[in-house]
Amino acid sequence: MDTETRSDTAPLSVTLIVGSNRHGRFGPVVADWLLEHLRAHPGLDPEVVDVAAPELPTTMAPTAEARAALAEVTPKLAAADAFVVLTPEYNHSFPAGLKNLIDWHYHEWRAKPVALVSYGGLSGGLRATEHLRQVFAELHAVTVRDTVSFHNAGGSFDDGGRLKDPSAPDAAAKTMLDQLVWWGRALREAKERRPYAA
């Protein structure tokens, strides 16, 4: 008897969230590198949400302007089986624009895996990822164990946006994405059998 389900075979719909909207941000350089890995992974079908694109108000009031700003973003989050969140570190944490995007949603995150990629100076953005773990736990999402971090990110890429030494980041990305696929398929299969309830 064939017991294979959609969860076993279909690629995961993964949404890459570019988490910085600061002027002169370095995020798109790292995002381009990351997208290459997402597109090359046989288990993933990537989509992108950039926090710099929608103009989300911070009042959290469900106004017509807020609904219009979310009209393109929310369906991408809802349709995702998994997420990769790319964040810099600002003042020992992650950016306000990213927190605003996260806070405008709730059910879209539930029972889905989240992989974390960070960049920064000496810390490589790791303090931002640790704060994000707490936020996503509150939203019933599962963060995968391994991350990718870029210490001194500006010096790690050349002027063309290519990594000067890709060996360690490429290996870290493979480990992280393999974990994301495992969790994504496991959670998708579980939700097909029974709805998630908290």
Domains of the chain: 13-19+28-192 (3.40.50.360)
What local confidence, expressed as pLDDT, does residue 115 receive?
98
With a cut of 50, say whether residue 1 has pLDDT above it. no
pLDDT category of residue 197 using cuts at 50, 70 and 90 = confident
pTM equals 0.94
With a cut of 80, say whether residue 198 has pLDDT above it. no
* 150-155 contacts at long range (C-beta below 8 A, 24 or more positions apart): 150/30, 150/118, 150/119, 150/120, 150/124, 150/125, 151/120, 151/121, 151/122, 151/123, 151/124, 152/121, 152/122, 152/124, 153/26, 153/29, 153/30, 153/119, 153/120, 153/124, 153/125, 154/26
Instruction: Read off the pLDDT of each residue in 77-82 and give the average, rounded to a whole number.
Output: 98
Q: For residue range 122-141, list pLDDT tens digits in order.
A: 889 999 999 999 999 999 99
pLDDT category of residue 178 using cuts at 50, 70 and 90 = very high
Do 97 and 17 contact (CB within 8 A), yes or no? no
Do 144 and 180 contact (CB within 8 A), yes or no? yes
What local confidence, expressed as pLDDT, does residue 5 receive?
54
Mean pLDDT of the chain: 93
Q: For residue range 43-74, list pLDDT tens digits in order.
A: 999 999 999 998 888 889 989 999 999 999 99
What local confidence, expressed as pLDDT, does residue 7 receive?
53
